Structure 1
Amino acid sequence: MKTSITCLVLFLVLFSCKKEDKLTFEPLVITQHECADCPEVSISIPNAIEQTKLTRTINRTLKEEIISLLLYDDDLEATTIEEAITSFTHGYTELREEYADETAQWEAKIDGEKVYEDDVLLTIELNTYLFTGGAHGYGSKRFLNFDKKKGTELENWQLFKDLENFQKYAETEFRIKESIPEGKPINSTGFMFERDSFYLPENIGLTKEGLKLLYNQYEVASYADGPIELTLPYSDVKKFLAAKIKS
């Protein structure tokens, strides 16, 4: 009886470890609002705490994305988020000194969260809002996909084993969702695809609900139309994907 109990406990421990093969993240929060006339910067992203090739890749990728968003001076080589914030602040200060009565306060809000993880794949969603003057700010979303086994970031095409047929399938589903008649040009209802031909968005991400295709504002439609999203069930797209998805 003692042996049976020991085996059961061992089984439960091993099963639990296998089931909970997830990365551990802690929030990384950076804010700056030093004075009434300074840009307001708010950053909150997940920070992977284990020390592995994968976690280093994730943290480095997030840092590089944020630096590219905030870097105002292209000639400056920022290596940290703080240096990028300094560049963003200098850009605002220079513009305000030149146009004191016309420069509205700049703002940057960047939030990230894990939206999908299984044994092989991980997706982090990065939401950004930037205001640097003008009639309105600009919000955008970025999906960052990672191969957990190889410890690398994935390009969109690497998510698929049959990209060509996936694009054909995605166009069919896009037309259905957006009520674009079959046989009519993709832009016949007001979209702005280049060369009037359907193409996949720059952002494709894994989510709990399915594979999400995201066209940010201005990508294929006007600002007023907002982002264009299409979520495809894993049961329908698994035949196109390079990895098996646990849906």
Structure 2
Amino acid sequence: MNNRFFCLLTLFFILSCETKEELTFEPLSISKKECQDCSFVTINVPKAIGNSKLANTINIAISEEIISWLSFNETGKANNIKEGIDAFITDYNELKNKYPEESMPWEATINGDIVFDNGQILTIQLESYLFTGGAHGINSVRFLNFNKLNATELYREELFTSKETFTSYAEEVFRTQEHIPAEANINSTGFMFETETFYLPENIGYTDDGLLLYYEPYEIASYADGPITLLLPYKEVNSYLKLAVTP
């Protein structure tokens, strides 16, 4: 009986140490430019160190997001960041061979930072600038949220106890912020919500100041309007969140 108790105590101690093991990061910096007038890619993002489930979950999520930004040819799928970079450069070179006088070099710049970590929730913000021709490049932002305790990525639908209830609350705050009367159409002041119905943005991230709703350019307004954001203090939204955040 004593031996069994000792074994259980030892196992508990081991599991506790593994749970408390701190997650650490190192910078991942990749740059590729083959010539002065060639397309180029520059990437600077955090990389989780180690082979834990959480580290692998984070690194895979970052890699997949970067690959999706760099992918223009749907016939092939890059398996890692290096392949994604090579595919980006190759797609431009193929275009240049077809239209040598009309093809300006492409550019991809992707940066990432840890913007929130309270021991339970970790949020990494990725920002990209992509130029693949046209009048201007495109800036994009992605928030990757993770539950550190169970080593999983938190997708938008998993953040709320009731997405519908939170959406109704967010619409009230949005209307107040943007001076849209409660009885007016959501697009009455110039926004471009599809079906003229308020909806949450694709990007929602935890920050030190509150839950950030981030609408990309083009998502609900013109490109000239830039991103539209709504910052909600945790004390106001904790009742809607599955994982409450202590302010």
Q: CA deviation at 1:162?
A: 2.8
Q: CA deviation at 1:41?
A: 0.7
C-alpha distance in 2 between matches for 1:82 and 1:197: 40
Q: CA deviation at 1:37?
A: 2.5
Is the 1:22–1:119 Cα contact (8 Å) retained in structure 2? Answer: no
Distance 1:166 1:21, change over 3 A: farther
C-alpha distance in 1 between matches for 2:33 and 2:152: 35
Is the 1:238–1:244 Cα contact (8 Å) retained in structure 2? Answer: yes
Q: CA deviation at 1:23?
A: 2.3
1:75-224 superposed matches below 5 A: 75-224=75-224
Supply the RMSD in Å over aligned alpha carbons.
1.4
Q: CA deviation at 1:76?
A: 1.2
Aligned to 1:11: none
2:183 counterpart letter in structure 1: G
Q: CA deviation at 1:163?
A: 2.1
Is 1:240 aligned with 2:240?
yes
Runs of 4+ more than 2 Å apart: 20-23
Match of 1:186, SS state, is coil
Aligned to 1:58: 58
Match of 1:238, SS state, is helix
Deviations along 1:113-153, whole A, 9 cap, x unmatched? Answer: 11111121111101011000000110010011111111111
Deviations along 1:133-181, whole A, 9 cap, x unmatched? Answer: 0001100100111111111111112111132221111001111111111
Bigger CA drift: 198-207 or 92-101?
92-101
Is the 2:238–2:245 Cα contact (8 Å) retained in structure 1? Answer: yes
C-alpha distance in 2 between matches for 1:96 and 1:43: 23
Calculate percent identity across the aligned residue pairs: 51
Match of 2:35, SS state, is coil
Q: CA deviation at 1:229?
A: 0.5
Is the 2:46–2:114 Cα contact (8 Å) retained in structure 1? Answer: yes
Is the 1:130–1:138 Cα contact (8 Å) retained in structure 2? Answer: yes
May I ask how many residue pairs the two structures share in their alignment? 229
Structure 1 gap ranges (5+): 1-16
1:189 counterpart letter in structure 2: T
Is the 1:22–1:118 Cα contact (8 Å) retained in structure 2? Answer: no
Deviations along 1:49-97, whole A, 9 cap, x unmatched? Answer: 0321011000011011111111232111211111111111111111111
Q: CA deviation at 1:210?
A: 0.5
Aligned to 1:12: none
Structure 2 gap ranges (5+): 1-16
